[in-house]
Structure 1
Amino acid sequence: MARKYFGTDGIRGLTNITPMTAAMAMKVGMAAGTYFQRGDHRHRVLIGKDTRLSGYMLESALVAGFTSVGMDVVMTGPMPTPAVAMLTQSMRADLGVMISASHNPFADNGIKLFGPDGYKLSDEAELEIESLIDGAESGAVALAPSHQIGRARRIDDAQGRYIHFAKSTFPSDLRLDGLKVVVDCANGAAYQVAPAALWELGAEVVAIGVTPNGRNINDGVGSTAPQTLSETVVASGAAIGIALDGDADRLIVVDETGAVVDGDQLMATIATGYARRGELAGGGLVATIMSNLGLERHLAAQGLGLVRTGVGDRYVLEAMRARGYNVGGEQSGHIILADYGTTGDGLVAALQILAEVQRAGAPASEVLHRFDPLPQLLKNVRFERGAKPLDAASVKAAIAEAEAELEGRGRLVIRASGTEPVIRVMAEGDDRAQVEAIVDRVCEAVRAAA
């Protein structure tokens, strides 16, 4: 059964346009509050948010929804998504909520839900909550009696709790003394906690993207716009730069030369370090179909495996849990370290990278360049809503021909976007010219059928 409101990462959209309205947020609070009130204890939900202007509106609406069905609310203010997951678990909350649209522009927002174990909800749970959302106006959700309405309060020490947790993941025998680090917080949720954690570990911190105004989140800064970070690293003579996204669950790194290091290289660095110390579980790592073939070959040369999943960190995490892996992630910088958390955590991943650099005693450009990526090209083809270009015989034939041409020398990945009417065509291989020609041919076939 298709989900109506939830996408691959919660409910998301343009603020004040359905489904991302205050009215919908209140219904989500009522529905999720009803779903998670199980047992005879006093129930509690923890709510965090990033720095978007609309966060105040959606937070207030969620509080109204949760308290109306009898659930108590604890609000943390601006906090990273992984911090909300961690605090939900450590505070014994029945449910955690993060108000964020991650790396999207400020006008977008979203609602992510975490269960009491700190993990994102299953498809089945989301479907049940969706049915309660639709039934909120028809009486399917019961309001609490007047004397049982929930209470709401803010906690002042949430930042300190998360900083302490993040620092605890850094090896106790290492320090960052003397290491100049530029940290780009995307004017987002980690604008206070990330610089503080690095400073407390001894780093000389140069912080950018730490002046949020409600509208500048991800605007020319952060993991999706690393140019400012690159320029700042070079200009300041820093040893390394780390960039988080708006909700700090994503990490991109810049070495001392200003070169950008993507999630594939970061995962390779962490996994090989873990393997060297006997800490790698599962005999490899989990990544998506978008990770470069160079990563797979690099791991294989060291006797390590790569399990591929569909695009989305939730699918990576599902495979990690099912197969017993402790390292996984996406080329875009979502890195999940199961020894430390239940979701991607940009700051914790950054601390593992900094630990590898400190252990090596070598420049970041040497430590983090683990393999030469194969030429990879991704193009998007937009189509009219309702059309099904991938079902066309001409497109199937073009794909089959391309796969045969790349066999043994590369990969072809064709997928429909889950959020917009776009077909994504990606190819990679040893021959750049061949890759470019194949992508162009397949794209043309898709356009003709769209």
Structure 2
Amino acid sequence: MPNAQQAPLKIAVAGLGTVGAGVLKLLDTQASLIEQRCGRRIEVVAVSARSKGKDRGVDLSKVQWFDDPVAMAAQSGADLVVELIGGSEGPARDTVATAIETGKHVVTANKALLAVHGTEIAQKAEARGLTVAFEAAVAGGIPIIKGLREGLAGNAVSEIHGILNGTCNYILTEMRTTGRDFADVLADAQALGYAEADPSFDIDGVDAAHKLAILASVAFGTPVDFPSVYVEGIRQVSAIDFDYADQLGFRIKLLGIARRTDAGVEQRVHPCMVPKTAPIASVDGVFNAVVAQADFADRVLFVGRGAGAGPTASAVVADLIDIARGRSTPTFGVPADRLGAAPPSPMETRRGSYYVRLMVVDRPGVIADIAAAMRDQNVSMEQFLQRGRSPGEGVPVVLTTHDTDEAAMQRALATIAASDNVLEPPRMIRIEQF
């Protein structure tokens, strides 16, 4: 008689979209390799999706079909439920909750669910001796969760920063290399399938913020705190900003940044100017990258594809293999009941340098007024650029600052924006000296 370790790991898969179909294909293609590495088979016993008749490229004739993923989680006889539905509420949340209530492990790629309910899910699962694994929820095929939670387990991590959304990275890369503006490149990204018909979740920074909240919890051993993430997207980045960035020695990236500071845990997502020499500056297209700063391992860089059927399915199956082997790790690296709460560090306390682009009327005294607004808030200008002259008309001017407080910078910009000589809202991008 086989013992429990040799018996197949029976799994049920909720959601058969691009990733779900990719998981089934990978499990089928690599069945022998997976069994060799696990010492047991991984057997799909049930699936659930909205459309039963759709061809997903795999044979489902011998697998139980459920129209309702929650019923599948309760009734399928699986040892583990793979949740690939998406969304922080509704069927996804109910499926995961039911799986845990009925004694099943969970593997998920759902960053929204974990960002909003991750701590609660971890507490309930760990209380029952169950595993919740989510390598696929952050940065696709990059093993960043295992890298932080296991590879850097002996380190205190002080900072995480990275490119966490491939759609935004593709758009910003194309804007830089082609000189086209945001709207044109976004339309191309949608036509190529890199951006959704409604791209707001990506381009407004929400997707990256979900991932950052999860990374911060794993890196710092704190509860997941998505509401405290400052979020700013890329809609206001213009083609002209890339020209100025190039002159100044920078690249523009949408980054997620999490740091431990004296004031607490800082979490923010927004466009950044980073030096061309920074490793992350050369990560282009749909690729993701994450940098961890650790006390003993120093700086560690992870780069790879952050989305797509293959990379994401690879991450899901890696979690399945861990569970099939009997490996168990606390959900966020620290037992859920020991996650140490830390106060959020307000965005106003961020200290650093800034890039500011203004459209102003070209007349005497305008630049002096801008300098005075900066001076009154103790903001020191480092560089000032103006292209050409057009007396009485609008001209773009760009300035960069020395390090200053975010609150002071915002007060200075509010004063500048109120001037009759400023023709449009100031455009500001934070500079990060990695």
Q: Same fold (TM over 0.5)?
A: no
Higher relative contact order (CA 8 A, sep 6+): 2
TM (norm. structure 1) is: 0.24
TM (norm. structure 2) is: 0.25
Determine which structure has more spread, i.e. the larger CA radius of gyration. Answer: 2
